[in-house]
Amino acid sequence: MCWINWFILINLNKDKSFTLLNKMNKRIKHRWPDDEWFSIEKENINTIWLWQVRLSIIDLSDAGHQPMFYNKSFWASNKKWKKENINKSNISITFNGEIYNFKEIKKELKNKWYIFSTKTDTEIILASYLEWWKKCIEKFNGMWSFVIYDKRKNILFWSRDRFWKKPLKYYFDWNDFIFSSELKAILEHKIKRQIDLDAINHYLTLQYVPSPKTWFKNIFKLPHAHNFIFDIKKKSLNIYKYFDLSYKEKLKNISEKKLKEKIEKKLEESIKLRLISDVEVWAFLSWWVDSSAIVAFASKYKKKLKTFTIKFDEKEFDESKYAKAVSNQYKTKHKEFLVKSSDMLNYIEKLAYQYEEPYADSSGLPTFILAEKTSKYVKVVLNWDGWDENFGWYDKYNIHLKSKKLHFLPFKKIIAYIFKFLYKISWKKLLLYKLFLYFYTLWDSLIKRHLNYTNYFDTFSRDELFKKKIKKKLKENTFDVFTKVMQWKENLKYLDKILYLDFNTYLPDDLMVKIDIATMANWLESRSPLLNYNFVEYTARIPYEYKIKWRNRKIIFKKMLGKYLSKKILYRKKKWFSIPINYWLRNELKSYVNTIILDKDLICLKLFKKDKLLNLLKEQSKGINNWKKLWTLMMLNLWYKKYF
């Protein structure tokens, strides 16, 4: 597991370049406890600086140094290869991630007369690139972001994994081409820090910024499942998608028994792969079915598996007893961390810095704390991400099913305005407003309805919030972003469209960002068995009727788990991995959040109407639940404070 800092500079002083690259690495020093290495390549007037920092997981020896150059001893049976094509300095790589099936690929390459001098998966990527060129990606099962410098072709070949598990961000202005695992490092260069207003618009709706945008103009994220070829001489970029999850071809004439067996087998394969490591692999254990299933299956292959969970001092949010029950059942070495409200409050500003873009998913806070405490014991953990998108858990899926039935309801706009009127005169504002929004959007397209079912600021409250002069500067809306994602998906069934949309927006840009930042900032590698692409491709073929019906979710998944977990674990009401923010904003955080949001030196008052901000704060103190909106605005201002 490594982190990447590269840049290409035109006619820049060598000493200055070294100093600059050193600053980039210091900016992300929280991610590299084990090793660092660098290399300098000259290409005409271009200087290519490569620097890699490493958390050692596979091949702990110095042979795992990166940037890695392919060994001179390589030889292939194909006579068309010339010696100049295999010189040590012809291709090099910086790689962040894990290729779980690298041993299988290694056997295949050895049969083609490739020779290896390390036990790393990194060397396998280089050999695969030589053998299969761009199609090497199709061989890989894992998580990755890597950049290969191919001196023969004078190009950089980039790739991101299928589900955005490992980040890669870049800046390009025709003179300097800079990329890194984190924005913090890129910002060490003398880049003008300009906020992208459209990113703010997306953030208010989604709680995150969708790829390829970041919060900074001219700095971008390489989207998941994309490759990127940069021609160094021509300074040209070619970005293309190499993988797309298909929900079109459904399983037919398959019995429920056979379906459960297939899911079970594929899950076993996925977890077995992710236990491959030269250091110990442990597991996060929450009180959810998802993580309980991971522990149940991992315990098949690892005796005395070690598990970690958080225990809250607020009884309403603490369900650690369910995690403990699973631990007892599978005899894991279980570690509980008691977290108090005061502990979590101390992390808020730290999160604003580490997430490096405003990020309003409040579950990032307990995830970060769990990762920090876990990292004192281990380097690698299994997480539970991917269950909800694979098998359809979220409340919004139920709402969509109901909307499908009511879509042709007559007079729905009249009903909506009745609720809007009641909302204005009644103290029960939140429920009435939600009903207004629900009926008002019933005649909208599926994408617009989805946006309003998942929003932090819905279409109406967001428009009211912006100052007029700011609103005029907005060029994009989130509906257009989602519409682009859904191009050519008209033939999918209703709920499959929503599952596809979440897998290509919410999962990569929110959940994967959360787990990567939370773990990597604490020297911890996190692996996602549920996002094994073979497993995901199979679940996408399962008709959604097996996954979700009205008020019944993860149907086939829970039936498969019947022999592993008790009904008390499987069928209890699921709660979010959440924290008592709503309570805090009326008590411990009340003064703090007021001060932050209304700080005239920060960004909220520059963008939004003051009376609207004051009204949100006033309503919260009176008992109206505005915590999502206030948390979103607070994190925006805290980010601005850290980076501007």
According to the model, what pLDDT value does residue 438 have? 84
- Residue identified by tokens 């010696």 is 83
Confidence of residue 11 (pLDDT cuts 50, 70, 90): very low
According to the model, what pLDDT value does residue 47 have? 53
Mean pLDDT of the chain: 84
According to the model, what pLDDT value does residue 50 have? 58
In angstroms, how far apart are the furthest CA atoms of the chain?
83
Distance from chain centroid for Cα 419: 37
Instruction: Give the SS3 label for residue 307.
Output: strand
According to the model, what pLDDT value does residue 402 have? 85
2 labelled catalytic: yes
47-71: b or e for each residue (b if 16 or more CB lie within 10 Å)?
A: bbbbbbbbbbbbeeeeebbbbbbbb
Confidence of residue 532 (pLDDT cuts 50, 70, 90): very high
Confidence of residue 85 (pLDDT cuts 50, 70, 90): very low
Both structure tokens of 534 = 């073979």
Closest CA to 285 of 270, 295, 277: 295
Tally of CA atoms within 13 A in the half-sphere of 615 that contains its CB: 8
279-303: b or e for each residue (b if 16 or more CB lie within 10 Å)?
A: eebbbbbbbbbbbbbbbbbbbeebe
Range with the poorest average pLDDT among 32-36, 212-216, 334-338: 32-36
| Residue 447 confidence (pLDDT) above 70 | yes
According to the model, what pLDDT value does residue 599 have? 97
According to the model, what pLDDT value does residue 576 have? 56
Confidence of residue 428 (pLDDT cuts 50, 70, 90): low
Edge-first strand order for the sheet with 281-284 is 333-339, 306-312, 281-284, 380-382, 525-527
According to the model, what pLDDT value does residue 298 have? 95
Cβ atoms of 59 and 30 within 8 Å: the answer is no
| Residue 417 confidence (pLDDT) above 80 | no
According to the model, what pLDDT value does residue 411 have? 77
According to the model, what pLDDT value does residue 427 have? 57
The residue among 642 and 436 whose pLDDT is bigger is 642
According to the model, what pLDDT value does residue 72 have? 43
CB within 8 A of 418, min separation 6: which ones? none
| Residue 553 confidence (pLDDT) above 70 | yes
The residue among 313 and 77 whose pLDDT is bigger is 313
The rounded distance, in Å, linking the Cα atoms of 490 and 479 is 16
Residues of the chain with CATH 3.60.20.10: 2-241
Helix then strand count (H, E) for the chain reads 30, 19
Provide CATH code, domain 2-241: 3.60.20.10
Strand partners, 52: 4, 37
Mean of the pLDDT values across residues 567-590? 77
According to the model, what pLDDT value does residue 13 have? 44
Both structure tokens of 363 = 């579950």
Check 1, 2, 267, 597 and give the catalytic one. Answer: 2
pLDDT in tens, 283-332: 999 877 889 999 999 999 988 899 999 887 777 777 788 899 999 999 99
Residue type, position 381, single letter? V
pLDDT in tens, 19-65: 766 677 666 665 554 445 445 555 554 555 555 554 444 444 455 55
Provide CATH code, domain 256-389+523-570: 3.40.50.620
Both structure tokens of 341 = 């409200």
Residues of the chain with CATH 3.40.50.620: 256-389+523-570
Please report, rounded to a whole number, the percentage of residues in the chain having pLDDT higher than 70.
Answer: 85
pLDDT in tens, 220-267: 999 999 999 988 888 888 999 999 999 988 999 899 999 999 999 999
pLDDT in tens, 137-156: 999 999 999 989 888 888 88
The 10 Å Cβ neighbour count of residue 552 is 11
Q: What is the pTM for the complete model shown?
A: 0.89
- Strand 380-382 to 525-527 pairing: parallel
- Residue identified by tokens 């990292």 is 375
